[in-house]
Structure 1
Amino acid sequence: MTGMTAYRTAAGYSLLAMAKNRLALVLLAFLVPLWITIAKTVATPDLFPFRLRATGQVLHAGGDKITMVSGSLNAVSLLVGFWVFSAARRTSAFDRRLAAAGYSRRALLAAKLTALLVTATLVSAYAVAWMLLYWTPRQPGLLILAVLAASLIYGAMGLFLSLFLPGEVEGMVAIIMASIIDLAPQNPVAATTADRPLVTLLPSYGSLQTALQGGFTHHFAVAPLANSLVWLGVLSAIALAAFLRRTRVHNLARRN
């Protein structure tokens, strides 16, 4: 089997494993629009002043729109993180058997990254499409990029956690708690800590700052996305290194 054939086969199985998760599909269909709709209808539309750390600007935006942006990031983070975690847990034993039988580990890794990218892209596009029903951001493309960055970070986190946690309940709780600790202190409307330097170290800092830029300004600061890329790179590298180590140990045991 050639490398490309192995990759296509592995990618197909990875995407199929994602598609078989009915709970995640139901959450995608109902949780994302419900979350965004509640944020739009319940939060106050009154203008709220806040400082955008990425540019230093003081902006005035409707509380409902700010809450919708923050809520959409929370929703897609939870969904993609859980979805990737669940799929990775269900296929982990099969992946180890394939690697032990000589299947290309590069193909397996590339397939997991492909499934992560496809899932994050679809979920992000769906979430932004719902936001566009209620509101026209100043830079829709930048808003999509911000939501995609958050989805990829939590998808990589789900992949990372799948290698260390024993079951789906533990993974779901870990992802929920991580999302709360991450996004709650950054919400300009609800948190007094949103302007503290510590928030720049949180996983979704770059995504939220970029989303706020895309929603309420015509500017684009690159630094927040660099923060997102660092988080994505670190989580992905740890997850992939752990996967390689597990499959390598399994292969050595088989040879002995």
Structure 2
Amino acid sequence: MAEKAAEADRGLLVLRDADSATGALGIAFGSLLRREVEGMFAIVMTSVIDLALQDPLCSSSSNGSIVRFLPSYGAMRAATGAGFSATPLPKYLAIQAGWFTATALTGLLAFHIRTRNSLNGPRPRVTAPRTADTAPPTASAPAPAPSMPPQQQDG
């Protein structure tokens, strides 16, 4: 019974790491891409392609050399180890933590680069509101009427 609880805890740990890496990837895409549609498309397609290439039923190269560079490689291997064997997880969790760190730093760096111009720009000058004591004097005499050009007479 205790072994089942330990396996469940390991599985939840792996899911948390996979979610945090995908979330950090979303932050990076959100900082790098200009519109929401582009960001949503990028994160959905990255996730689908990432997991589809690692699925042993759909892909014959699920253990290929390129697969090791995908964002959820560590989480997929750790989940497989947590669910079906007694494989130690620290190696794969470290890979996933590396992905989280790299994507989070990329997102923060992109955000900093995009927003630094607005931080260093000229600041608007704030003036105190005018009161009755500091208001400019108003003229009490009415303004002269505009002059009309003389009309020409026919005849």
Same-fold call, TM cutoff 0.5: yes
**Corresponding residue for 2:17?**
149
The amino acid that maps onto 1:220 is: P
| 1:203, distance to aligned residue in structure 2 (A) | 0.6
**Corresponding residue for 1:225?**
93
Matches within 5 A, 1:62-211: 139-211=7-79
The amino acid that maps onto 1:144 is: L
**Corresponding residue for 1:39?**
none
Contact 1:138 1:217 survives alignment (8 Å): no
Write the distance in 2 (CA, Å) between the matches of 1:186 and 1:148.
Answer: 19
Contact 1:182 1:203 survives alignment (8 Å): yes
Per-residue CA deviation, residues 114-159 of structure 1 (Å, 9 max, x unaligned), is xxxxxxxxxxxxxxxxxxxxxx687111111111111111111111
Change in 2 beyond 3 A, CA 1:138/1:194: farther
| 1:219, distance to aligned residue in structure 2 (A) | 2.6
Change in 2 beyond 3 A, CA 1:201/1:137: farther
Write the distance in 2 (CA, Å) between the matches of 1:229 and 1:138.
Answer: 21
TM-score (norm 2): 0.70
Tell me the SS of whatever aligns to 2:80.
helix
Contact 2:25 2:103 survives alignment (8 Å): yes
| 1:211, distance to aligned residue in structure 2 (A) | 0.5
- Identify unmatched segments of 5+ residues in structure 2: 125-155
Higher RCO (Cα < 8 Å, 6 or more apart) = 2
Q: Which has the higher helix share?
A: 1
Tell me the SS of whatever aligns to 1:139.
helix
Per-residue CA deviation, residues 64-113 of structure 1 (Å, 9 max, x unaligned), is xxxxxxxxxxxxxxxxxxxxxxxxxxxxxxxxxxxxxxxxxxxxxxxxxx
TM-score (norm 1): 0.44
Contact 2:32 2:110 survives alignment (8 Å): no
Identity of paired residues, percent? 33
May I ask how many residue pairs the two structures share in their alignment? 121
The amino acid that maps onto 2:15 is: V
Tell me the SS of whatever aligns to 1:206.
helix
| 1:255, distance to aligned residue in structure 2 (A) | 4.0
Write the distance in 2 (CA, Å) between the matches of 1:196 and 1:164.
Answer: 29
Contact 2:32 2:107 survives alignment (8 Å): no
Of 186-195 and 152-161, more deviation after overlay is shown by: 186-195
Write the distance in 2 (CA, Å) between the matches of 1:230 and 1:169.
Answer: 27
- Identify unmatched segments of 5+ residues in structure 1: 1-135
